[in-house]
Amino acid sequence: MTDCIFCNIIAGEIPSCKVYEDQEVLAFLDISQTTPGHTLVIPKEHVRNILDMSESTASVLFSRVPKIARAVQKAMDAPAMNIINNNEPIAGQTVFHAHVHLVPRYSENDGINITYSVHEPDFNILGKMAEQIAQEVRA
Ligand code: AMP
Ligand code: ZN
């Protein structure tokens, strides 16, 4: 046993309901089942979150997401899906082994609220922010 729940799931040391597995990626049902079929997709490599992830691990992880998401959608007959990822505690991360949430959605009135409020944009501020970020991407 390690002190990482998801590494223990990968090793088969704690039980999980697996829906997909290959050499590099595992997907299994989330115990919280926010909605029926709520699934987690994880890299087998232990990495804290996407902020810590290499491009190659991200390629491996995200390349599997559409296929697994479509399978969850089809099996659960879900008309829609939120695909969510939380990085660090302020953003709601509670398990520190990177994972992508697939949350099938069945109704707009299911009590799950993922909305972004729209503010009147100040393009001067946005432009400066974009330039700061762009510089870091290039660095
Ligand atoms: P997050 O809050 O984004 O870090 O998500 C962690 C998720 O892991 C939560 O939705 C938990 O319900 C889920 N989780 C924690 N322990 C287990 C477990 N043993 N098997 C399946 N899912 C788990
Ligand atoms: Zn781990």
pLDDT band at 40 (very low <50, low <70, confident <90, very high): very high
pLDDT band at 68 (very low <50, low <70, confident <90, very high): very high
Encoded amino acid at 35, one letter:
T
Stretch 89-102: mean pLDDT: 98
pLDDT band at 136 (very low <50, low <70, confident <90, very high): very high
Do 47 and 56 touch, CB atoms closer than 8 A? no
Q: What is the pLDDT of residues 10-30, one digit of tens each?
A: 999 999 999 999 999 999 999
95: Cβ below 6 Å to ligand 1?
A: yes
Q: What is the pLDDT of residues 53-62, one digit of tens each?
A: 999 999 999 9
Dist CA 57 CA 86 (whole Å): 17
Per-residue burial over 52-77, b if 16 or more Cβ lie within 10 Å, else e, is ebeeebeebbbebeeebbebbbeebe
pLDDT band at 96 (very low <50, low <70, confident <90, very high): very high
Do 37 and 105 touch, CB atoms closer than 8 A? no
Do 76 and 37 touch, CB atoms closer than 8 A? yes
Most ligand 1 atoms within 8 A of CB, residue of 85, 94, 114 to mutate:
94
- Looking at residue 114, what is its pLDDT? 82
pLDDT band at 74 (very low <50, low <70, confident <90, very high): very high
Question: For residue 14, which atom of ligand 1 is closest to its CA?
Answer: 19
Stretch 93-113: mean pLDDT: 95
CA of 121 to the centre of ligand 1 (A): 36
30: Cβ below 6 Å to ligand 1?
A: yes
**What's the pTM value of the predicted model, to 2 decimals?**
0.96
Domains present along the chain, CATH in parentheses = 5-113 (3.30.428.10)
